[in-house]
Amino acid sequence: MDTTLDITRYTIDLNKNPITGVRKGGRSNSMQIVSLKDGTEWVVINAPEDKRFCGFLYLTQAIEEAGLDIVAAKNRMVWNNKTVIYLSRYCGEVKPSFMEHGGLILKLMEQTGFKDTAGGANLRLVDGKLHVFDTEPSSFREDVRVKIEEFQALHDEILNAFKKAQEDN
């Protein structure tokens, strides 16, 4: 079995997919949103970046294990001016209706511990599918935060492999 870490699952190569624009958006126009050559948009993640990334890793696994028809918004690392910047896929501004998606939102909360959903906060609909973002530890129940911390080692392995790959280039 190959246990080599595939960092391309967690990173974006800006040499192949460069930034084409930057704008303000999101909550109160307070977020920096970058556009890439491939047409995707990404939100620059605020501190603590590594903890939010660990929350993304946990949530992705928890959603898969629970078999929920929900997507954890992708988080990626990019190398820009010898600095690692963390990005989260921008999911637009269409919030789900609790009347229409309430059952799924409740399952998300119960089965993953993600709790930051009031008023559609941190939830968006993209092509009719529920997406979850802003995975900082405080967005989860306290009992789940220990599980999130367990992803720190994977985060560090990804980060170190990514930095090494960039420095070798």
pLDDT digits (tens, 9 = 90+) for 33-69: 999 999 999 999 988 999 999 999 999 999 999 999 9
What are the domain boundaries of the chain? 7-164
Which long-range contacts does 121-128 make (Cβ < 8 Å, 24+ apart)? 123/95, 123/96, 124/73, 124/91, 124/92, 124/93, 124/94, 124/95, 124/96, 125/92, 125/94, 125/95, 125/96, 125/101, 126/71, 126/91, 126/92, 126/94
Please state the pTM of the whole predicted model: 0.93
Q: Indicate the DSSP class of residue 97.
A: P
CA dist., res. 113 & res. 134, Å (int): 14
pLDDT digits (tens, 9 = 90+) for 87-112: 999 999 999 999 999 999 999 999 99
- Band (168; pLDDT cuts 50, 70, 90): confident
